[in-house]
Structure 1
């Protein structure tokens, strides 16, 4: 075939001769040229030929029955064998025989005796001719099939422009099929617009080649055609023309529609009030409309090919931290991406815009992403107006302080947050004493100036977490969230009253004022904002009734607590000053053996009557008053002395001492520990310092340095109440920790609460994975001990073994050997 060559079978050669010797000779001559078949008679030859269809027949003339001439005639008249090449083989040399052979359809003549070489050559030539004839026919058929099926008009024309050939066998182009078109003049076939253009080019000697023609006649709705016209030449003489036509109507119409759509889109994008930027898949700019040019400060040609992040300088409006451009997110995540809130765009000129909107990937017809587009607009004025309106709606115009509306919102949020954190919110209602008299006598202008100064003084007393609001002519409300202890409330109230006692200078005149302050607490006094405000108002009037220039609490119980706190502070200071703090020791037990291997040192404080004051009352107080460092050093000294004595008596007992968070602020902690170890002659390996997770996180780097120094001395570090604080693996990795202590709240509930048990299991697994010693705190039941042992917890402490004991009692327990 013309396009796909096929494997050829060996040609069949039929040898017909009644004499065996001749057949042998002929077979010898052509044996390698094909597959040989022999016949002795004419009838036998015809039968084999009809069945096998040989390519060449070597035919003897003199045959019994039907002679060779008749065999040849029948082969040529049979459609199945008419194409075979008949070569006569005979001993006759007369010209009449040769003539008769050729007239019957023979194509060659071989005389006897047979020349083997000549015979082989003639047969080979006939086979080659047969192959070429067949290949030519196949190529012709292929070419006919090709020109029939291609959607192109192919035609051949004479020099006079008469049709010689056309592949439009169905008349699809001009309503005339190929057969009827033959010999027709071109002007009778083509529409005038096409014919005139072709004739003009030929007659005027214009370049032929390729051109497009518009046919208003629209034959078969063909409006535009691509013309390919070439001259046919033979021996340098022009003999005609080869002309092909391609229907490009749909392409031209599509291009026209696309151009119109493109122009319409361009006009739209250039006319809208939003900025539009398009990019390719790498985020490089391919289009910008005029609004985008103005807001970025770059011309479209200047920005084209540049990365979007170099064209759009985006950052957070508050932090100024650069952010990833939404177009890049849209390309990466293959979705529509809204621009980050509070986004700011800085133009090349330095002009700043607040912008918002979104970006989206651009997809082709098959859904493949071919780029992205971002649409954004300037919201600077809107945001500024919204901020201004919100500010005016929520702030007092005279003092710029929050008004009742904003106060209500802040107070509600503070109460919710405090309740979730287990803390309190304090509300201070502040009223200027006798302000009405002052305002009436001096005038409203002076009164406003005084109120402004009062506001400034109050603002100077509060931190950023508090809210100071003006709710009336001379009334202010201070909301302080996150109160941990009542002492802070007392301090703030005292500061307010004291600050207002200083004289006010208004236009060179001195005025003395005082305030009455009412205080209510959430959740002690009330659970909601309205009740808190009402209770603070009641307390404020109580302060006025008691003589003004003072503060009062709504809750008398709180006043009692403050008095109690004051008494405890006096006792604590005296105990520290007189070295009267007591240290009790709770044994730490090896759970498998029951052997005492350590003791936790716990500080105790006695009141004037000899009773013990709970640590929950004086430990937080020590932290608030700055006494915790002195308390901690005193406890550590006594604990180290006790452990040193145990060591001298032959007891290998390690003592654990709690370190408060504020002790880590003191950079001298490492030096203090080293000094106490040397002073008490205690080995560093016998001292363990217990710290809470929150204490570790207050000052990360400083704490890390302190712990590293302590561990290098040989001191062991334990995490106390593990699981109740940050429980972060990052600090477990960063800090040199030796021991984990399971908080007693988990141990207490582990047999009844599956969640607590799961937490204990997790802590045990973590300790095992990190190679840390595990201590269970608060063990009160045998089942708790057994459960911890099942989790490979080595050590434990709790009332099941012993409560914290005075030193003398603990010494007796050591002598007994086991608990």
Structure 2
């Protein structure tokens, strides 16, 4: 079999970047390269043309690398094709499984150029040599020719390791002539670079597996010591007895251009040129080791953009990419050469400041970065302002581990965003405790829903003139099995951020409708009002599902009121509007809750399908003493009357407030004056009292 540089190599990897890099590397060496993205395609391609060598990824969709290799080894046409695994898996078990499947080699990602080229060349040569040794006379002649012309050094020894023959490349590389080498053992090249354990492992592997390969430092005739990549294989006769060994080796020569390309792809973000997450973790680990030894401090800034998603949606992804590139340039302009700036996510960056003695110096630099990144960016669509938040953690104060310090800086970033953005927030131990408590509550809330720890309380919505209940608002309550009552303003945000709000919200709607249907059968003509989270619109609550729930319980859609807040319009406006219109077209009613506390309230009333607004309790609370609040309520009532919208006043706590609202012609309200939110039994008693 020919082993000229144009040998055919098939590369199978589902990552396009890996295919491109390997193809460039091997094509530059003169190999004929066929890159394919899946195991299925590879098997079909091999049936058409059998390659000389296969580079095979393990983790792929569909057929994984183990399965592909097994199929190749089961086919007589391809069983002798050497298969080299290239994988990010590093466990010894994965390597053993790879060899068990029939692989001849295993290279861990991220791979090194020299190593890949040396191993590819070695296996191509070794494959050819093994075939030649097994073949008849013609093949033996071809192997002899290969022995002579190979660019790799080749040593043939007897069973005792005594050198019987060397090729010309051996002499070119080591300086030893055949006459000087033959009769000696490979210890002729020993450099004393390796400890005794190295050779013990070498012989154990060679005798038990039949081959060994790895990097060896050898001393040449001129006394110089060089690294070599060696592949040593045991030769056995038909009876299985060892008759000798063949060793192939090559200099681990550096190929600067290709290595630079591999390093760039493996360690740097392709869009911004900043370090990627892999290189960031590597540098952090090295910095931590040095700083622990020297007792120095290190600061880590986690930087997030406040409205990057809107930039992509409004101006397009090309503009978003340009923005990220300009952010990277500004970051690099603010830090020292010894520091690191990295992009670790779509709109998330990290800056590592080493040898920070004073926290004040870190804070000054963070303030400078914040100021630079909040200045307008010049983009093709025009100048653009964007909010930036920074979370800051310090080593070793806030953690003595890479993952811990990254997590804590991210926690601080989240707190900065929660507080409105455009600010710097230092990590504190309290944040860590809050996060742990929050995660525990999230876990307990999932279990609480299963264990029926959550329930609904009902607060009546009444006619302000006579106090008669017309409907009720359903309010979620959670009685934790250990902590007791958990306030909604604590667990509802947790449910929203964790995605549990969808299951929880659907449970609320179904429970409220079931209870409403029961009370209607008892003779009470009421409606139910439920709160819909922004995280439930538009995907969490399907209009057709709402219709099915009400119909199955014998309710008309108008009996169910869906309360939304103004924050819902800050999400996907078009999708939210479509959802509102579809729901209202089916007959459900929409109330705008907490009216007046958000932004652009008037435009919401004008442009969106609504049936009523609920005046926020803060206006009602102060209307007795504050003329300004009375004027605002008066204006809301007048405006809603013109727009044919009902008004419900929330938070009515005393008779004076009620009377003022009646004087202003507000027809409906709710609050503690009439009733606090009540569990089922107490609310039924309330209804019976008013019915009598």
Band of TM-score, shorter chain: 0.3 to 0.5
TM-score, normalising length: structure 2: 0.44
Structure with more contact order per residue of length (Cα contacts < 8 Å, sep ≥ 6):
2
Task: Point out the structure with max Rg over C-alpha.
Answer: 1
